[in-house]
Amino acid sequence: MLEPHCCKSAVVERIVELIEELPDDSPPSTILTNSLIAVGNLSTMKPALEPELETHLLRAAMHAVFTLGTDKDTTQVQALHKVIPELLDVMLGNLLSESPDTDRLHYILEHVNFWIVSRVSQERVRAIMCSTALLRYSITLPEFDISAEFPRMGHYVAQMALFVRLTIHEADLWCCDWHQDSRLLGYKNTARVGEVFGKLFSEGQRRFFLRTAVLAIHDPLLRVSQAGLVLAYSLLGEAQQLMRNKVSSCNRLRRLGRGAGPHSHPITIRWPGSKEPGGE
């Protein structure tokens, strides 16, 4: 008779194989639904999965859910479109509950974050909703230490703020009326994120938030670049001033590297006590 750990691992391995066999862009199916339910239940059993198998599971499950086809031709498919993302949320919540700490949360969020920066709108939106649900769930866990230092939280919040509005009309901040143009609502909401979280963040979280925002300024996609600029100013409480002084802002933007002349040098941003961008 197999040990419980072997049984659990064997079942999960087969579930991962079933999920990976689903074609890309496929409509919601009972196979995916039942697979997520099964893994969610198995996650409540001891012992935990081996890291390699768990990583394989997370990648397969997120790929299947975030790339679901958009066809909703039947009532059943419409229902599954709503249920499947919720089942993924439950599965991730159960995985977090196995070891409810910031390291575990960071590990799961890193997998979700891969999809938040997707250029495909539906994938990005689903990933952002998933990340939000996991963060909300984490603070409800009695064992989760919400006072623990989690500097990477600043990065995750900035990433969501940068990409949640990627689907808005590409409005140029310097050519539109900040107060009247409805296309700039997304940038206004982005500014609000920095203003609100800037008051709640620890010093480490503020550094990660600001670093992510500044690096986004160099993104080739205009909407991301300008959202990064707004985020950086909003953390300092200067977003409104940024909009009022467009000429001065353009000059600041050029100094940050966009529109720089052929003889200018690339900018290297280093934060006190931090490693190279992308490091912990």
pLDDT tens digits for range 214-261: 998 888 888 788 888 888 888 877 766 665 555 455 455 545 554 444
Task: For residue 272, name the pLDDT band (cuts at 50, 70, 90).
Answer: very low
Task: Locate the domains of the chain by residue range.
Answer: 1-144, 149-258
CA diameter of the chain? 74
- At 185, is the pLDDT very low, low, confident or very high (cuts 50, 70, 90)? low
Contact 171, 184 (CB under 8 A): yes
Q: Which of 119, 274, 169 is nearest to 212 (CA)?
A: 274
Average pLDDT value over all residues in the chain: 77
pLDDT exceeds 60 at position 113:
yes
DSSP helix/strand/coil, 250: helix
Q: Which positions ≥6 away from 219 have C-beta within 8 Å?
A: 225, 228
User: In sequence order, which ranges of 120-221 are alpha helices (DSSP H)?
Assistant: 121-138, 152-163, 185-198, 203-216
pLDDT at 202 over 70: yes
Q: Give the integer Cα–Cα distance in Å for 111 and 4.
A: 27
Domain 1-144 bears CATH identifier 1.25.10? yes
Query: Comparing C-alpha atoms, which of 203, 201, 169 is closest to residue 186?
Result: 169
Contact 207, 154 (CB under 8 A): yes
Residue bearing the bigger pLDDT, 7 or 93: 93
Task: Compute the radius of gyration of the chain from its Cα atoms.
Answer: 21
Rounded to 5°, angle at Cα 156 from 151 and 157:
100
Alpha carbon 112 to its chain's center: 6
* Separation of alpha carbons 59 and 68, rounded Å: 14
**How many CB atoms are closer than 10 A to CB 259?**
11
What Cα–Cα distance (Å) separates residue 241 from each residue in 154, 162, 182, 247? 23, 20, 19, 12
Amino acid (1-letter code) at residue 23: P
Q: What is the pLDDT of residue 78?
A: 80
Q: pTM for the complete prediction? A: 0.69
Cβ(244)–Cβ(177) below 8 Å: no
Instruction: Give the mean pLDDT of 262-279.
Output: 40
- Among residues 260, 253, 266, the alpha carbon closest in space to that of 226 is found at 253
